[in-house]
Structures are given as C-alpha cells and as structure tokens.
A and B are shown apart, each in its own frame.
Chain A
Amino acid sequence: MRRWQRTWIGGLSVIAFLVIWEIAMPLGLVKVADISRPSLVVKSFFELAAEGEVYQPLAISLKEFVLGFILALIVGIPLGIVLGRYRFPALLLDPLLMAFYTMPRMAMMPLLVVWFGVGLGATIAVVFLGAVFPILINTSVGIREIDPIWVRAVRSFGGTEWDIFKKVLLPGTVPPMMTGIRLGVGRGLLGMVVSEMYASTEGIGGQIALYGNSFRTTELIVLIAIVSLLGFFMVDLMRRVEERVRRGRMMEE
C-alpha cells in the first residue's frame, strides 16, 4: 500500500513538473531565460543519438571514469585497511589526509592538466582523486570500529596476521567500505564532468561545454539529463549493493 502510494504520488509530481515545463515558455510564464521544452528535448535526444553525438562521448567518459575508479579502489582499499589496523602510520598521515579530504580536489584541475595532459590523463587523475578519499577513509573507519575481541580471539587460537586480515578485518569492513565506494562513485563522476568541461572537448562533459558555449539550450538539457540519469543509476546501483551486503550480514548474525 505504502509502496504503491509512493509510486503514484512521485510519478504524478514528475508528470506535473514536465507539463508545467512544457507550457511555461508558450504561455510566457518565463520572461527571458530559455528553458526549452520537454518535447523538444526528447526530439533532440533522438537527433543527437542518430548523429552519434551521444554514445561515442559517453563511451569515452565511461572509459576514463572506470580507469580512474579502478585505480582508486586499488589504492584506497589496501591503504584504508593498513591505516585502520596500524596506529603508527594512521597518526602519521592523519592531518595530511584530512587536509586532502576537505580540499575540493577539483581545484587541482589546472595542475593536473599540466602534469598528466589534457584529456584522458587529467580526467583519470581527477576521478581517482575524487573517489580515493571516501573509499580510503570509510574503509579505515570500518576497520577501527571492529570489536578488538575478534582480533584477540584469532590471536589466542594461534592465528597469524594474515588470518586476522582474512577472517576478521576484510569481512568486517565490507559494509562501510561499500558506503565509501558509493560516495566515491558520486565524487568520481563529478570529477569526470568537471575535468572534461574544464579542459577537454572529448567526452560528455566536453559536449556539455560545447553546446553551452553556443547557447543551444535544448541540446544542453539533453546532455545534462544523460549525465543526471547516469549518476542516478550508478549511485542507485551502489546503494542496492550496499543494502544487500548489510542485509546479508544481519541474517548471518
């Protein structure tokens, strides 16, 4: 019952939004700004798709995103585990990591463009920098919150450091790690779009900058919608995985 209500009220409000948007321009509800119309947006989506201006940039963007994100996983998870487990390196690196974490990493854009080159290199670097910190910090917090009794239990049965890692730390940190990965996906996508808009004409962000600069609102909205839906589905997927992991854990206990 509740679920059904959520669907129809939500659906109704989205439809209402689209209708108001559709009639706002013809009725003169908006004075100067060009807000286009949903019908035009849908039409121009198919036109753009037919011209191949959607899939190819999307493929380039996704490639950059995936490469940067994998790099962030490779660095973030092991480092997070080490920093969660051992006090000494954690204390040593803590202020440095916090400074990086609070800094909007997109601000490093002008540096990254020169260091790694316009396009692929800089975008991968921004995605990596955006995603790695949430992953790293959530993983290490997860490790720190594991009850030390488990570690002591493995020790007293003669387990090695590797056993502790495999049987306690890794399984224990999965739910917070998933939260970090979900946040990382959002940050990574943001970095991807910023980088492409700032410095490259390739990819979906480059397309957005291109159409924005020529004031073609309808095409611009098509591209924004594509990026929005991409973000929405990716984050939603991550949230589902996260919930599944959490629920699986509760059933075990």
Chain B
Amino acid sequence: MDLKTLYRKNDSLLLGTIGLLGFACLWEVAARLQWADPILISSPTHVAVALKNWAFSGILFRDLGISLWELGIAFVASALVGIPLGVAMGWSRPAEYALDPFIWVLYSTPLVAFWPLFIIWLGIGTKTIIALAFLFSVVQVIINTMAGVRSIDPVLIRCARSFNARTSDLFFKFTLPGALLMIIAGLRLAVGRALIGVVIGELFSSNAGLGFHISYFGARLRFADVFAGLFMVVAVGICTTQIIRIAETRLTRWKA
C-alpha cells in the first residue's frame, strides 16, 4: 500500500488530528510569544498541568462524581416522566391539544429564567440543580417521543386492528417499537440539554461539581483551571452522547 491510498483511507482522522494539534500549537505559541495576555488565555501546557493537579488532588473525582450524579438523576427522571407523557400525547389527540401550549412555551423559553424560582422553592443545593437539568431535558424527551408515536404508519395500526389486536398488544408490539428510534434520539439530545442545565446550575450556585470548579477559578482569574474544567465538561458531553449512540445502534439494528 503506498502513502497516497493510506492517506485517502484515513484522511478524516489525519486531518482532524492535524486540526486539533494545530489549534493547540497556535494557542501555545500565542501564549509563549505574548500575542495575547498569557494570564487571560492560559496555554495548553498550563491546562495540562492544572488537569493533572486537579486529578492528583482527588477533587476531580469528587467534582466529576457530583456532576455525573446530578446529570444521571435528572436524565433518568426526565425519561421516566417524558416518555409516558410523550406517548400519551402521541396516542390521543385531546391529550396533545391540552398539553401542547405548555410544551411549546417550555421548549422555546430560556429555561434558566426559572432558576431563582427553583431556589425559592427548593433552596440552594443539588436539588435545585437537578430540577433545572430535568426541566432542560424533559421537554426534548416529550417532543421526540410524541413525534415518534405519531410517525408510525397508520396502515400498520389498522392492519393490527383488523387482526383483532388488543389495545395492549397494539401498544407494546407496534407503538413502542415503532417509536423507539425517535425516543432514543430524543434521549441523546436530552442528555446534552441536561448537561447544560447541570453546568449552569453549578455555575450559579453550588459548592462542588464541574461548573463550580469553573466558576470558582474563574473568579480567581486562574484560567488554566477554568480551561481544565471546560475540558472535562466537553469530555462528559461526548462520552454520555456516545454511550447513548451505541445503545441506539444496538437497539435499532433490526430496523436496518
């Protein structure tokens, strides 16, 4: 195999790596040569050191654990609440019409505005953060589930009916499998939104977690630590999305 075909086969991987490395080099050079104030932009080496210190002090795992815990609870709760609601809205027209106005307002609203209200209701703490993350993600789950149930071919339903399918059969053998693809896609989007909620909540007020780390060191102008925090947030986002994507391909293999 000569170099040209090797390049052609792996060009996305190769160029992507070059892009990332190039960005890091540019950043490092900019900091070293003082094109911008090194205090303000930090540099990759400093970020790496900050990340190492954070990990060795053991606080990284505490912060990561707390953020993941909040994310997990909010995500599971939004699935438990959102999927039944979405199914109900897709299944019956009156239910959809009744809930529609609330869902659309919640979908288009900058939900973070509810934060002070949650503080009044629940007090400052993880409960409030979970509530915000839940609100962020549940709307996405509901909308996707509803669209999934709606998208099932009515001919299939009529066919099942004419073979005397009971409603429960109809539900478990047609509606749920048919909507599965959309539901999981909704969950994948929802986990991203829940992460936004967790980070914003921690940024505003908390005493542990990735968002807290970012906000704490941001206020002290230690931007290497801030970038380390951002790096971890990106890592969490990519990992959780990737896990759901793997589940997605596993569960929907029969469809292809």
By a beta-carbon cutoff of 8 Å, the part of chain A in contact with chain B is: 5-6, 9-10, 12-14, 17, 33-35, 88, 91-96, 99, 102-104, 106-111, 113-115, 186, 189-190, 192-194, 197-198, 205, 208-209, 211-213, 215, 217, 220-221, 223-224, 227-229, 231-232, 234-236
Contact = CB atoms under 8 A, between A and B. Distances in A.
A95 B116 contact: no
A107 B211 contact: yes
A104 B110 contact: no
Given A5-B97, A13-B98, A99-B234, A111 B110 contact: no
Contacts of B23: 96
Interface string B179-192: 00000000000001
B98 A9 contact: yes
A104 B238 contact: no
Interface string B92-104: 0110011111101
A104 B200 CA distance: 9
B16 A94 contact: yes
Contacts of A227: 109-110, 113
8 contacts: A88-B15, A95-B17, A107-B211, A110-B219, A111-B223, A212-B117, A231-B110, A232-B104
Contact of A104 (B94, B117, B204, B237): B237
Contacts of A212: 115-117, 119-120
B153 interface: no
Contact of B19 (A5, A96, A235): A96
Contacts of A231: 108-110
B19 A102 contact: no
Contacts of A223: 113
B16 A215 contact: no
A109 B212 CA distance: 12
A113 to B, nearest CB: 8
Interface SS of A by simple majority: helix
A156 to B, nearest CB: 26
A198 B196 CA distance: 15
Contact of B20 (A95, A102, A108): A95
B238 A232 contact: no
Contacts of A209: 116
A116 to B, nearest CB: 11
Contacts of A192: 110
A200 to B, nearest CB: 14
Most buried by A among B108, B192, B204: B108
Interface stretch (B73-81, B154-162, B225-233, B247-255): B225-233
